[in-house]
Amino acid sequence: MSNEENTEQTVDSVETEESVKVESVKMENEAVNEAGNIISKILSLKEKNPKVFFGAIGAIAVLLILLVSGGESKQLSGPKIQSLVVGQKYVLKSANSYDPAATVRLVGVPGAIAAYDDTEEADRTASCQHIPQGTHVSVIELQDAYGTKNAFVKVLMEEGECKGKDGWALAIDVQ
């Protein structure tokens, strides 16, 4: 290659570099102008329709909070069936009530609680069917039901007017 050809290639590469720099400056200016246009549109929205503007800010804030919290699924804590052991002593506690005066229903056959209907007077007033919470009991037998292991528990009353009598309760009511 001759010196003249090398000089032409160098001049061409310098011109190419300069044109690339000019293009990049133009693109930067366009990006800045576009960002300025977006900001001016947002500010004009604030002036024209503040409800939409602040609603959008609120929605963005909620999304950011959800993203920051990690979106972990938090389980609610509620009644759980414990690992009950035959022969152990437990206490009756109504898992579905915050009322301390609530009673725990005992029935003669496991599964009868699912069909429970106390519309008859005898169902509400019969002895040893509605046991007060806090009554101490012993587990006699466990029964699986509806695909749940140990869903029902046969308990023996350890205290109160029904001492020595037994009945079936939901496992979540024995704690």
When pLDDT is cut at 50, 70 and 90, the band that residue 156 belongs to is very high
Three-state SS at 71: coil
Phi, psi of 72 (to 5 degrees): -65, 140
What is the tens place of the pLDDT at every residue in 63-95? 888 888 765 555 555 556 668 888 889 998 887
Mean pLDDT of 18-32: 76
Looking at the chain, the whole-number percentage of residues with pLDDT higher than 90 is 8
User: Whose CA is closest to 130, among 148, 98, 157, 110?
Assistant: 157
Return the domain boundaries, the chain.
3-68, 89-173
When mean pLDDT is compared across 2-11, 121-130, 152-161, the lowest value belongs to 2-11
